Chains A and B, each alone.
Chain A
Amino acid sequence: MNPVQHFRLGENEARFRSPSFFFRILLLAFFVFTPFMFRSFEVLDVVLKIIIFSALVASYDVILGYTGIVSLGHVLYFGIGSYFVGIFMGKFGWTSYGHLALAFLIAIVISGILSVLIGLFSLRIRAIFFAMVTLAFMEFTFILSSQLRSITGGDDGISFKLPGILAIDFSYGKFLGVDFTGRLISYYLILILSLILFLLMLRFVHSPVGRVLQSIRDNEQRSIALGYRTYLFQVIASSFASCVAAVAGGCFAIWVRYVSPDSSLSVPIMLDVLLMVIVGGMGTLYGGIFGAAFLMVTRAFLPKLQVLIASLLPGVPFAVRLSERWLFYFGLLFIIIVYFFPKGIVGTAQEILSRKKVEEK
């Protein structure tokens, strides 16, 4: 039995007994029962955005944390996903389930092809070129989407209706005291899709390909020496993650029923994703959930905090101005986390847990 098989065996035996397994079940149960626990739409909105962004951040983590290459244009594929749903539903007015599925399918295919092309001609040279070229492409697509008014609706974006049971005015009636509207059905649809994406990604990073990717991250020279064509593996990882991001983008469009360059394709979203991935921890996948939860919850409470500060310090315009610029603190957070917690929440927790295990032994 080789070491990998031995490791797998141990992993499989511990799978259903480890505390983290129950934690995962608890997390899933929380997402499933959120509509029953909280009746307000704001909470549901925040929780759903956490779900979508967890999938997006996890897909980014596949590139960044597992393969070790930096893409600064990952949101491009998220935008492609939302725009295809938006254009199909809103611009062409094809509101049917078939067309919704078709929009997703086309978005996945196009994202895959585009990321393979970008990867093929920029990863060949140096991994750092990939960061620059992806950033340039994202900026290019952003400007394209705000200029091509006839297709994308320009800066105003497209708002649209969804078919059948996903439509906003659909109501199934009451279930356990909760109105089952189109909103709630879309919530569960997105939850299921994100869960599938998450399981797919877990499968991907634990597959043989995923192991090769981690070896590239840890020591590229050695992977080359072992006979792997590393840059092909990097292209595979980047295109897989792009397809996942496209689906996440489509889900986002389904939830907000609106797409515009600022809401689904801009640099600020990319910065959010970067922050989420380092808050949560790179190379953990689950970190995405914590990072997204941290950022979304902070963002939801920030306006209240600002009102509080403004009432506490009346007549100090500079303090109010400082409190208004919450992005400033996010910038500081970037720097502080890289200094003191480079492993993020999940990475640090894993480290503490594994240290405990060693001590017990």
Chain B
Amino acid sequence: MSSPWKRWLPTLIVLAIFLSPLLLINPKTYITITISGLAMGMLLFLVSSGFSLIFGFLSVLNLAHGALFAWGAYIGFTSFTLINQWTGWGGSNSIFLNIIIFLLALIVAGLLVALLGIITERLVIRPVYGSHLFQIFITVGAMIVMEELIRIVWGPNDEVMPVPINFMGSWDFFDVVVSRYPLIAIIIGLVLYLVILTILRKTKIGTIVRAGVENPEMVQVMGHNIYRYFTGVFAAGSALAAIGGGMWATFVKSIHPAMGGEVIVFALIVAIIGGLGSMTGSVVGALMVGLSYNYVAYLVPKAALGITMLLLVIILSIRPTGLFPEGT
């Protein structure tokens, strides 16, 4: 009797959080806030899914993830500016061209940061597999180095992130104000979630990765070179962080070298809430954090971060290993 109930418990919790602010906020504002909450959740999902997958598969606590995120934002910024100088699509009136240039910038950021991730994994992390203590030190070192490299390459000051012209402003659906960019972010996030899920569920690589999350030695015994998959997963996680970085930068319209450090804490909380190594957990955790943060920020602005910590404490005391088991 208890098992189906337990299975639906996370969904029920999410729905309860989702609907309870209706008592305090009028419905139209509620929809606006919900959409920006969902957008924030989707962006958090992009960051924390990579973090969570890397932890689940490689069992590396990758503290350099925030720096990869910031690199993604900066490369997205540069490539957007360059492509825009070349084609002028960012200022074009057609939303189609706007989306194309935005996606192009994200893809460039994702690819380059995946390369950076491969270099980091090969050079820095590979020698310390198996020792959590040294992994933490070495990823902290990598984080500092990468963050300082941003300061050396792009300079230490804040930059204004260029936004495609049609992404600004909002649409009006029956008197409900819906900002454009959050809606686009939600769609891109959902598509990426489905792509990751399909890869993990339907392909051979996905099967091996999911098996590796459960038991890496066994995968090795079956004759797969697990280190190659380690590098691949690290690169994929870095690319996800970079895409998240580029989208986040467009969301807040500015970038600065230390931006990764602020987001990594959210990603950490999301990954712990959802269960380390679980994609579904990441998306549920990210939406929970994003929505509750936005509702509370509207009602009691000062308590917004507090609600995130409260969520972490509550979930850790109910389900110490997170909402979803590893590998789902």
Contacts and interface: CB of A to CB of B under 8 A. Distances in A.
Contacts of B137: 274, 278, 334, 337-338
A127 B143 CA distance: 22
Interface in B300-320: 302, 305-306, 309, 312-313, 316-317, 320
Contacts of A330: 144
Given A121-B316, A136-B269, A140-B305, 7 more contacts: A122-B316, A131-B61, A136-B312, A274-B140, A318-B152, A335-B138, A338-B134
B168 interface: no
Interface in A20-55: none
Given A136-B309, A278-B137, A328-B144, A335 B61 contact: no
B138 A121 contact: no
Contacts of A282: 133
B141 interface: yes
B136 to A, nearest CB: 5
Contacts of A144: 305-306
A132 B61 contact: yes
A143 B128 contact: no
A333 interface: yes
A14 interface: no
5 contacts: A68-B133, A136-B269, A144-B305, A331-B145, A335-B138
Contact of B136 (A129, A131, A328): A131
A137 B268 CA distance: 11
Contacts of B272: 129, 132-133
Contacts, number: 95
B134 A335 contact: no
Contacts of B316: 121-122, 125, 129, 133
Contact of A332 (B141, B269, B271, B321): B141
Contacts of B127: 339
A247 interface: no
Nearest to B134: A338
A165 B55 CA distance: 53
A139 interface: yes
Contacts of A140: 305-306, 309
A137 B272 CA distance: 13
A129 B61 CA distance: 10
B154 to A, nearest CB: 11
Interface of B: 61, 124, 127-128, 132-134, 136-138, 140-145, 147-149, 151-152, 261, 265, 268-269, 271-272, 302, 305-306, 309, 312-313, 316-317, 320-321
Interface of A: 64, 68, 70, 72, 121-122, 124-125, 127-129, 131-133, 135-137, 139-140, 143-144, 147, 267, 271, 274, 278, 282, 318, 321-322, 325, 327-328, 330-335, 337-339, 342
A63 B143 CA distance: 23
A338 B133 CA distance: 10
A137 B269 CA distance: 10
Contact of A333 (B141, B148, B152, B309): B141
A339 to B, nearest CB: 7
Nearest to A322: B152
B302 A147 contact: yes
Contacts of B147: 327, 331
B133 A271 contact: no
Given A121-B317, A332-B145, A333-B141, A325 B265 contact: no
A335 B126 CA distance: 12
Nearest to A117: B313
Contacts of A139: 265
Given A140-B309, A143-B305, A338 B152 contact: no
Given A132-B272, A133-B316, A135-B265, A328 B138 contact: no
A325 B148 CA distance: 7
Chain A interface helix/strand/loop/mixed: helix
A334 B148 contact: no
Nearest to B67: A331
A121 B143 CA distance: 28
Contacts of B136: 70, 72, 131
A82 to B, nearest CB: 21
Given A331-B141, A333-B141, A125 B321 contact: yes
Contacts of B143: 331
A325 B151 contact: yes
Contacts of A334: 137-138, 140-141, 144
A250 to B, nearest CB: 25
A125 B320 contact: yes
B132 A128 contact: yes
A327 B258 CA distance: 13
A318 B145 CA distance: 16
Nearest to A132: B268
Contact of A70 (B132, B152, B269, B302): B132
A338 B138 contact: yes
Nearest to A148: B302
Contact of A321 (B152, B261, B271): B152
Contacts of B148: 325, 327-328, 331
A147 B304 CA distance: 11
A190 to B, nearest CB: 29
A152 B112 CA distance: 43
Contact of B268 (A136, A335, A337): A136
A154 B128 CA distance: 40
Contacts of B151: 325, 328
Max chain A CB contacts within 10 Å: which of B261, B265, B268?
A: B265
Contacts of B321: 125
A139 B140 CA distance: 16
Nearest to B151: A325
Contacts of B269: 136
**Which 5 A-B residue pairs are closest in the complex by CB-CB distance?**
A334-B141, A331-B144, A328-B148, A331-B145, A335-B141
Contacts of B140: 271, 274, 334
Contacts of A274: 137, 140
Contacts of A125: 316, 320-321
Nearest to A330: B144
Contacts of B268: 132, 135-136
A278 B148 CA distance: 21
A128 B61 contact: yes
